[in-house]
Chain A
């Protein structure tokens, strides 16, 4: 195996707290046990150590690049192009009734 030493920022690696990870898991809608949070904290800290190298780069005056080709977003006529495939789509849904997708009750 190749041993390749990334620039790991140890100081930053220590700074991701259990609460940070719990918050991210909640925002990402991922149920995690305390043990899983702890594993994630340690692994994410390692990855963020790798990512931190970016902060030292001077990017003053550089325009962000969001796409490889600098082309304008194409527009199309506002008309219906898709055919109705409701039955085909609902055939693969976890739970449907009367043509509707079912979810747990939201409003009392």
Chain B
């Protein structure tokens, strides 16, 4: 059952071949057995999960089940979930039991899905290796000496190890796509504004976007149907017609124009990754696609721009953590300012403090124009590169990450090296475009390689079609790590 797609699981549940309680217990048993080593989940509440499963079984018996009713999902610990400890990977929120549900959580609850637990993540989603979590590193199920990627590393590890049917992620600079690539699973970051950010703990508000992560494109389409939609509680949520993201899955790819940006295959790309991605592109040609050479000339500027804009927005968003209304407060202090300073210094980890400092600096008096404003202007140049490219192609493809999963601790001391691992994903967030990663082979050390598919605005259904057709022709997405 754990290798079944979400639609197969849903059908089995509705046909009463298995109950949601049985399916949930199956995953809870796997979590109990494997999570102590992988550390993919921060919090599980088996009784709460089983109560949801019983409610789902009742709904199935009553004949009012929807596509996801009774299916167990993991939820990234960035989403507030009522009565669940919601830490965002930080000591700052070590005791934060959320009094309310994020929009994404409500959507899953309303669909009758089961919440299996809160998945581990880099602290406040700041990281590319899941090594900045206060709740310990997460291991990559393909090689437990390697990172799962980040920041949605717990989600990616849990899916690869079959510790959930699928799970949620969020992506500010690549945090869905990079861990999906490194753990050999599929993940989609929708167009900015498609999924509500309400109750999703803010990192960089103009870039943050939630999305589905799972074993295949078809599963992502079903999840996105549940996650997407207008929500008035998020001021940047887009008012659009509801769409069925699975509607185009079975369209043939004849004549599809795939843009290949030369900047994605330049210096810095691992030769093993390049080989797997080129083989995937060759497969697309067999499926009838046409290759178009394109250029995204400002790609390399996306890293400096991102490391101004994201920390600037983060320093503002994280100013709310002051030890007064919720979260961590230092045990000893002299006055109010000392309480703020000690609570924040003790509650935030090193990477979060580093980014708050960068953000504070670039927003401070005398530097705003040179950094923040200049970065916002270059952001538009980066977005215009894509507008130009989409005059000549339907989707853009390239590697998701320059390398396969690196070793735990390998980049821990060098923030600049860590930042550079997001070179192919960040521009997509800056432009607000949808991007996804699907498995397309294995590199050195038999670690998974991800193919990135970047779509035009609101083109998620086409991207899912493009991914699904590849997954019908190949079996990379159904490979599972051994020994689990």
Contact = CB atoms under 8 A, between A and B. Distances in A.
Interface string B74-86: 0000000000000
Contacts of B232: 74, 76
Given A44-B357, A76-B232, A104-B333, A65 B301 contact: no
Contacts of B410: 1
Nearest to A91: B99
A103 B238 contact: no
A89 B324 CA distance: 12
B61 to A, nearest CB: 33
A52 B353 contact: no
A24 B361 CA distance: 6
A31 B374 CA distance: 30
B357 A31 contact: no
A2 B305 contact: no
Given A6-B303, A27-B360, A88-B99, A69 B193 contact: yes
Interface string A64-78: 111111010110100
Contacts of A68: 191-193, 206, 383, 431-433
Contact of A104 (B236, B336, B457): B336
A92 B99 contact: yes
Contact of A54 (B301, B335, B419): B301
Nearest to A88: B99
A42 B343 CA distance: 24
A50 B357 contact: no
A93 B325 contact: yes
B123 to A, nearest CB: 14
Nearest to A21: B357
A88 B96 CA distance: 12
Main secondary structure of the interface of A (DSSP, over half): loop
A95 B333 CA distance: 14
A34 interface: no
A28 B360 contact: yes
B315 interface: yes
B161 interface: no
B377 A67 contact: no
A28 B380 contact: no
A92 B95 CA distance: 8
A106 B336 contact: yes
Contact of A30 (B305, B308, B357): B357
Interface string A1-43: 1101110100000000000110011011111100000001001
Interface string A54-70: 11010100111111110
Interface string B92-120: 00011101100000000000000000000
Given A27-B364, A94-B323, A40 B378 contact: no
Contact of A65 (B100, B303, B329, B383): B383
Of A21, A24, A52, which is in contact with the most chain B CB atoms at under 10 Å from its CB?
A: A24
A65 B376 contact: yes
A47 B364 contact: no
B316 to A, nearest CB: 11
Interface string B342-356: 101100100001101
B416 interface: yes
Interface in B259-312: 267-270, 300-301, 303-305, 307-308
A16 to B, nearest CB: 9
Contacts of A46: 415-416
Nearest to B403: A2
A50 B307 contact: yes
A84 interface: no
Contact of B324 (A49, A54, A76, A93): A93
A63 B341 contact: no
B378 A54 contact: yes
Contact of B340 (A6, A29, A55, A57): A29
Nearest to B233: A81
A21 B357 CA distance: 8
B42 to A, nearest CB: 17
A59 B298 CA distance: 12
Interface string B375-418: 11111110100000000000000000011001000110001110
B37 interface: no
Contacts of B415: 43, 46-47
Contacts of B358: 44, 47-48
B142 interface: no
A6 B416 contact: yes
Given A62-B380, A69-B432, A104-B336, A53 B301 contact: yes
A65 to B, nearest CB: 4
Contacts of A95: 329
Interface of A: 1-2, 4-6, 8, 20-21, 24-25, 27-32, 40, 43-44, 46-55, 57, 59, 62-69, 71, 73-74, 76, 85, 88-89, 91-95, 101, 103-106
21 contacts: A1-B406, A1-B410, A2-B402, A4-B417, A28-B357, A28-B360, A30-B353, A31-B345, A47-B354, A51-B307, A64-B377, A65-B379, A67-B432, A68-B206, A68-B431, A71-B193, A76-B232, A93-B325, A101-B324, A103-B324, A106-B335
What are the 9 A-B residue pairs with the smallest beta carbon separation, nearest first?
Answer: A68-B432, A64-B376, A94-B329, A4-B268, A59-B377, A31-B341, A65-B380, A68-B192, A31-B345
